[in-house]
Structure 1
């Protein structure tokens, strides 16, 4: 086993865990050097880095995490990086105006009459786009009533507002990635990009950490985005020995 005395200071040896168990196939990217690797079956990784570099950890079903390396982290024999599970909470529930029994004639009779929704009832803001969970939390943290609203002040001091802004930015970036991910069926990625079916989601995490990917998605140019995915898939296959 490598020790702090024998391991070069530019080499980080670590293990990514979830609930105390090593997690394989986690992307570990050194954003400062634009280099990346993937954890092995035990969750271990080896990556060149120096003090002050930022490492980004991402994997399917787990929350991404960034870590700025300190001198103590570089000297530790094994850097432990726990990741939490990603929970995508349901933002809204649609209630039907009647229950279905399975009997077609009975359901048709019970379902007679117009469905009442905000727009048909003439309610204000009926066509307003509902806020996501992250948007609602940020709105709540940054607004308040009274002569001197306390929410923005208290949340600003505690750092909650800054944290929620980061959560919202991450949510929007994830939403962009999902939009591109499901623009084509899996068969296209398998046949055209030569990606294994179980690596497609991981490939898009690989793309997401690249600032160029976000700029392409925002621009809305489907042709340029596809050309980018073709080039990026070659780099991904090479990095993962898939060719």
Structure 2
């Protein structure tokens, strides 16, 4: 900045700059990583083609700061030992009977509702008509197919999350934008469910490698 003339400029990546100035003007150099420096221009300076200005690096050292109200030191182990925390309240810590029950999918809830059998109210046995109507209309059968489809989709997503995209692309030769299509290609294989349910990651990877070769051939990707 030419503080005398009230003009300013910014240097390029190599530190080069140009600014209008007259003899006696004061230039102020300022940057985050350097100390400020002032330079009064003389007539001989302006007659030179270039003026080289050396700046001194500036390191902003902060005073020690203590974070309150916990007085954290930055040592995670020590800080965790000193902190007082309340017990985690979950269904399992409370000993509730539904602690480890897997939540049903929407399709499973609909199927259960559609096929709900007789229930007893004291001395009276109530027989709902919904299961019979749903069976006649085919809704129960449709819901069973939806449950099976949703379960298979969850298995496919579980396998999809086992491996990063780079494995599909580099090792299996599957383009990144076709990974989901490739997973559907694997999903229809009769051995897919049993291998994935075994939770054997080596067997799952071998299956994907075999299927990737067939997928590339069918889609002419090689």
Separation in structure 1 between the aligned mates of residue 109 and residue 188 of structure 2, nearest angstrom: 26
Following superposition, which runs of at least 4 residues in structure 1 exceed 3 angstroms of deviation? 112-124
SS in 2 for 1:211: coil
- Name the counterpart of 1:164: 143
- Which runs of structure 2 are paired with 1:1-243 in the superposition (5 Å)? 113-114=86-87, 116-144=89-117, 145-146=119-120, 147=125, 148-243=127-222
Larger radius of gyration: 2
- Superposition TM-score, scaled by structure 1 size: 0.50
Separation in structure 1 between the aligned mates of residue 154 and residue 185 of structure 2, nearest angstrom: 15
Deviation of 1:225 after TM superposition, in Å, equals 2.2
Separation in structure 1 between the aligned mates of residue 94 and residue 199 of structure 2, nearest angstrom: 36
- Superposition TM-score, scaled by structure 2 size: 0.54
Q: Which has the higher contact order (CA 8 A, sep 6+)?
A: 1
Separation in structure 2 between the aligned mates of residue 215 and residue 132 of structure 1, nearest angstrom: 21
Post-superposition CA distance 1:186-211 (Å, at most 9, x none): 11111111111111111111111121
Flag structure 2 segments of 5+ consecutive residues without an equivalent: 1-67, 70-84
Separation in structure 1 between the aligned mates of residue 90 and residue 193 of structure 2, nearest angstrom: 36
- Greater share of strand: 1
Give the CA RMSD over aligned residues.
2.6
Post-superposition CA distance 1:37-66 (Å, at most 9, x none): xxxxxxxxxxxxxxxxxxxxxxxxxxxxxx
Deviation of 1:153 after TM superposition, in Å, equals 1.6
- Name the counterpart of 1:98: none
Separation in structure 2 between the aligned mates of residue 240 and residue 203 of structure 1, nearest angstrom: 10
Separation in structure 2 between the aligned mates of residue 180 and residue 138 of structure 1, nearest angstrom: 26
